[in-house]
């Protein structure tokens, strides 16, 4: 990749509605097409739907059967979208935002600096 590429940044957030804590990022995915982005949400919803209560399951299947096409059309227009379901006291939100992916240097042919091996990610505040 040597130039900017249009795509979608997808995230899944959960929020415990009883704790007062901010939402937590659970997963992120870089999609290079609208179908790939909405498929990420669809696969997840189909996977968890058997464990959802009837209200949350109804919301999930309504999006899968009707809302998904509206989401796909919005993504093709390069507009952000979200899907939210609430199960008991947990809100799950999938967001899809249009992005431009920036090309990065190919690291396999270059020598990394000696400090690269010592990098340890820190916990978020």
Tens-digit pLDDT profile for residues 20-77: 899 999 999 999 999 999 999 999 999 999 999 999 999 999 999 999 999 999 999 9
pLDDT score, position 103 = 76
pLDDT score, position 20 = 87
Per-residue pLDDT at 124 exceeds 60: no
**Per-residue pLDDT reduced to its tens digit, 82-109:** 999 999 999 999 999 999 988 775 555 5
pTM of the model: 0.78
3-class secondary structure per residue, the chain: CCCCEEEEEEEEEEEECCCCCCCEEEEEEEECCHHHHHHHHHHHHHHHHHHCCHHHHHHHHHHHHHHHHHHHHHHHCCCCEEEEEEECCEEEEEEEEEEEECCCCCCCCCCCCHHHHHCCCCCCC
């Amino acid at each position: 990749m040597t130039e900017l590429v249009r795509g979608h940044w997808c995230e899944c957030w959960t929020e415990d509605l009883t704790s007062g804590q901010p939402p937590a990022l659970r997963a992120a995915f870089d999609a290079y097409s609208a179908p790939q982005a909405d498929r990420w949400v669809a696969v997840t919803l189909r996977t968890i739907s058997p464990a959802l209560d009837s209200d949350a399951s109804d919301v999930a299947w309504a999006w899968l059967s009707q809302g998904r096409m509206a989401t796909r059309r919005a993504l093709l227009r390069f507009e952000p979208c979200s899907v939210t379901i609430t199960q008991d006291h947990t809100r799950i939100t999938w967001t899809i935002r249009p992005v431009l992916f920036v090309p990065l240097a190919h690291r396999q042919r270059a020598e990394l600096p000696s400090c690269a091996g010592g990098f340890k990610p820190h916990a978020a505040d």
